[in-house]
Amino acid sequence: MPYVYLDEWPKTSPQDLARKENVLVSAKLMLNAAFSAPVMGGIPQVEAALVYGEDEQERIARKMEEIALLNESPRLREVFRTEAVMVREADSIVLIGNYRAYDTPMDVGCGLCSAAPNCNFLYDKRKTTAGIIDPVESPRPDSPEEAHFRGPLCMCRVSDMGEAVGSALLVANSLLVDAKPMLSVGLAAVKLGYLKRSEVAVGIPVAAQAKNPFVDVLPNYHAFSLDKVIDNIRRTYPTLRQVYWYDYKTGFLAKKGSSGNLKPDGSDSD
């Protein structure tokens, strides 16, 4: 079948899915870049996931909205709620996490997290067995009820993750697809267990649509999104179309200049 028809409307129509397939190619190339990104010492520490499809994106978006309510700051609530809309509007989601930041730190006493030439600040907050951070006794990353990452994290590892995210974004940039790094998405993904071992992650929704869905939004975007507008038209229009009781076969429109528009005027009937 050498014919593929692409469009971004209607949502999840064959043409929209075909377009999303293409965006997926870009997202996959972004993942290559994430893995080949420069990291300190070339130590493997990055894991990644690719999530797409209405159901999966909805799942992440809802988790973000759940986390939004856990936040006390109204500003953060709005960030989580708005970015949840963006996750729904995206074509696919790239997730990049670091699975060493929590329990296998760099161990060089770099000073980033502690401002001291040792890693005590991190080790003091963990349960250890013979100095090794206990993989069972330390709480699992995907504990559901928290609105933030559990630090202190090894900032050397986090920095490396930043480079992985940056490489992925650079690929998106050169492929001319829109992408935006979001901590909110990363947090939701960690809580949902999409990244199996990571305590910290960044989510990158990716899209190739007429309007970059990740910029220039309205305040309270979750209430004023295009989906909401369309849904409200679907809600009001069925009622609206019947209140004038128009019979298209006889066409009894009132003559111009006749009196009211709520009561039929006898003189107007043909």
In the complex, the residues that contact another protein under the rule CB under 8 A are 173-174, 176, 212, 215-219, 224, 228-229, 232-233, 236-237, 239-240, 243-244, 261-262
Pairing mode, strands 132-133 and 178-179: unpaired
Q: How far is the CB of 6 from another protein (least distance, A)?
A: 18
Nearest CB to another protein, comparing residues 148 and 252: 252
Nearest CB to another protein, comparing residues 238 and 266: 238
The DSSP element (H or E) to which 226 belongs, if any, is helix 226-240
Write down how long the chain is: 270
Nearest CB to another protein, comparing residues 73 and 239: 239
3-state secondary structure of 129: strand
Nearest CB to another protein, comparing residues 210 and 243: 243
Q: How far is the CB of 222 from another protein (least distance, A)?
A: 13
Q: Is the dihedral of CA 62, 65, 69, 72 positive or negative?
A: positive
Q: What is the dihedral of CA 82, 87, 88, 92, to 10 degrees?
A: 160
Q: Give residue 257's Cα distance to chain centre.
A: 55
The CA–CA distances, whole Å, from 163 to 51, 92, 173 equal: 21, 21, 15
Q: How far is the CB of 239 from another protein (least distance, A)?
A: 5
Q: How far is the CB of 87 from another protein (least distance, A)?
A: 17
Q: How far is the CB of 208 from another protein (least distance, A)?
A: 14
Q: How far is the CB of 21 from another protein (least distance, A)?
A: 23
Amino acid of residue 203: G
The residue to which tokens 């933030």 are assigned: 148
> What is the Cα–Cα distance from 20 to 169, expressed in whole angstroms?
18
Nearest CB to another protein, comparing residues 3 and 234: 234
Nearest CB to another protein, comparing residues 40 and 170: 170
